[in-house]
Amino acid sequence: MAKQIALKAYGKINLGLDVLRKRDDGYHDVCMIMQTVKLFDKIELVQEAQSGIALRSNLNYLPDNESNLAYRAASMLLEEFGITQGLTINLQKFLPVAAGLAGGSSDAAAVLVGVNRLFELGLSTKQLMERGIKVGADVPYCILRGTALAQGIGEVLTPLPQAPPCYVVLAKPPLSVSTRIVYEALALDGMPPEAHPDIDGMIGTIFRKDLYAMASKMGNILESVTITKYPQLNRLKELMRSYGAIGSLMSGSGPTVFGLFDDQQKAQAAYQDLRFGNGKEFVKQAFVTEFYQPLMTEDLEKRPAPQKGYGGGFRKPGGGGHKPGNFGHQQGGGPRPGGGYQQGGGTRQGGGYQPGGGSRPGGGYQPGGGSRPGGGYQQGGGYQQGGGYQQGSTPRPGGGYQQGVGQAGGTQGGTSDASGTDGV
Ligand code: ATP
């Protein structure tokens, strides 16, 4: 029988998204709190005797060639390793497309992981992440997953302790947004300081596991572009709040809006009303889900309090931001609008942050170079064990309930509206 592998490609939301500056190369330096959610595309990879890649998807408008990030990820690895066999990629999309949930990046990440295993290439997670950045800025994070700080153009990653658990309601309006166009339209000059979310403060709330404080720190500077263009997104955010969300925000460049809930019933009611009641004119797809945390980051939970974390300099929130050499912000108060990073621990040409110090000209993720606070994601091969990438072979994190109000084709531990998806 042909060798094959089944994978889940999880989506992400941004609990915080700041843009620090536009770089000379056209990219933007960002500072984002990323969080994986239990909503995923399903990917099946089949090894074929004949060379070539064939991609099949349940969404016929998605490209089936190099323009598809999943295809591109596969072809990059097969070419690099001179693989003469072929590959079929069966992609079942559940994540809304062009929605701010990193669906394409996550598909690419899963394909990198899957091809590595299927063809026994022997690449480490670090090596996969280094290749991932060539496909897209969010791909290394989609390989890492969990709660993480993303800097540089998104590829300089610092795993964080698991964000406090809650229910997440996602609402995707009937709009598609181009990430590139949103970034191009972002006017950082003249942006008041308060328009920049307090990412440092949010990190503190995550360490303290204070859900309410974390929700109060949520912010996304890209709302200034996307919500100005589509004011109905504000209405969606308000609706989330009216259902009892403790915080609501646009994810990525939008247009998906999410609300965090401390109560499952409230989250369910919000989902129902968004889908079938007051929200239905604004919403094409809606989901109820939870945060997803790969088991490998459990190590982080065992770490001591934040004061000494991240290379010995993390300051308690309220103390004026992080010291240089930690999260890369300037001392005395978080990100400097338009100013890029200023850190004592070492700067990287072209911006970005390298936790733990040292200077890194150029780009690319440097796992093992200090970005692993307290250990964790590279240890023990934990990424592939219990991390939930491979379908059917791992326990379901989150304690194992899988509801079925709506069909949970691409969700785990939550309910979903699978309209526009191919539910199973
Ligand atoms: P991000 O949050 O990283 O900006 P997104 O969720 O906004 O991503 P995607 O769903 O990744 O956006 O899709 C962005 C574009 O990429 C779409 O216009 C789509 O045509 C293209 N694309 C390429 N490959 C894929 C894929 N596997 N899944 C979805 N879109 C893809």
Rounded average pLDDT over 296-323: 37
Annotated catalytic residue within 8, 12, 93, 237: 12
In a domain, 356, yes or no: no
Look at ligand 1, atom 28, and give the residue with the nearest C-alpha. 104
Q: What's the confidence (pLDDT) of residue 190?
A: 85
* Distance in angstroms (rounded) separating the CA atoms of residues 32 and 108: 20
Rounded average pLDDT over 65-87: 98
Q: What is the residue type of 398?
A: G
Look over the chain and give the mean of its residue pLDDT values, rounded to a whole number: 77
In this predicted structure, the answer to whether residue 377 has a pLDDT above a threshold of 50 is: no
Q: Could you confirm whether 138 is annotated as catalytic?
A: yes
pLDDT tier at 295 (50, 70, 90 boundaries)? confident
Q: Which atom of ligand 1 is nearest to the CA of 69?
A: 24
In a domain, 225, yes or no: no
Q: What's the confidence (pLDDT) of residue 1?
A: 75
Q: What's the confidence (pLDDT) of residue 385?
A: 28
373 Cα–ligand 1 center, Å: 30
Q: Model's pTM, two decimal places?
A: 0.78
Higher per-residue confidence, 212 vs 321: 212
Q: What's the confidence (pLDDT) of residue 122?
A: 96
In this predicted structure, the answer to whether residue 408 has a pLDDT above a threshold of 90 is: no
Choosing from 36, 58, 97, 253 the residue with most ligand 1 atoms within 8 A of its CB, the one to mutate for a pocket test is 97
Look at ligand 1, atom 11, and give the residue with the nearest C-alpha. 104
Q: What's the confidence (pLDDT) of residue 280?
A: 86
15 Cα–ligand 1 center, Å: 19
Residues whose beta carbon lies within 6 Å of some atom of ligand 1: 62, 67-70, 97-105, 107, 138, 179, 252-253
pLDDT tier at 82 (50, 70, 90 boundaries)? very high
In this predicted structure, the answer to whether residue 356 has a pLDDT above a threshold of 50 is: no
pLDDT tier at 379 (50, 70, 90 boundaries)? very low
Q: What's the confidence (pLDDT) of residue 410?
A: 64
CATH number at residue 128: 3.30.230.10
In a domain, 73, yes or no: yes
pLDDT tier at 104 (50, 70, 90 boundaries)? very high
Name the burial class of residue 173, with classes exposed (0-12), middle (13-18) and buried (19+) by CB atoms within 10 angstroms of its CB: buried
What are the C-alpha distances in Å from 307 to residues 140, 267, 313, 368, 394? 27, 34, 7, 21, 34
Q: What's the confidence (pLDDT) of residue 389?
A: 60
Higher per-residue confidence, 310 vs 211: 211
Rounded average pLDDT over 416-423: 32
pLDDT tier at 296 (50, 70, 90 boundaries)? low
> Domain range for residue 132?
4-159+378-384
Q: According to the per-residue pLDDT averaged within each range, which of 141-145, 298-302, 320-324, 338-342 is highest?
A: 141-145
In a domain, 389, yes or no: no
pLDDT tier at 412 (50, 70, 90 boundaries)? low
Rounded average pLDDT over 89-110: 97
Lowest-pLDDT choice from 20-34, 53-67, 119-133, 326-340: 326-340
Number of domains forming the structure of the chain: 1
Q: What percentage of the chain exceeds 70 in pLDDT?
A: 70
Q: What's the confidence (pLDDT) of residue 251?
A: 98
Angle, in degrees to the nearest 10, between helices 125-135 and 103-118: 140
Counting Cα atoms < 13 Å in the Cβ hemisphere of 8 gives 26
Place of tokens 């060639």: 65
In a domain, 48, yes or no: yes
360 Cα–ligand 1 center, Å: 29
Annotated catalytic residue within 29, 41, 107, 138: 138
Q: What percentage of the chain exceeds 90 in pLDDT?
A: 66
In this predicted structure, the answer to whether residue 368 has a pLDDT above a threshold of 60 is: no
In a domain, 50, yes or no: yes
CB-CB neighbours of 12 under 10 Å: 28
Choosing from 69, 172, 226 the residue with most ligand 1 atoms within 8 A of its CB, the one to mutate for a pocket test is 69
209-219 pLDDT, tens digit each: 999 999 999 99
pLDDT tier at 302 (50, 70, 90 boundaries)? low
154-176 pLDDT, tens digit each: 999 999 999 999 999 999 999 98
In this predicted structure, the answer to whether residue 306 has a pLDDT above a threshold of 80 is: no
Lowest-pLDDT choice from 61-75, 275-289, 401-415: 401-415
In a domain, 340, yes or no: no
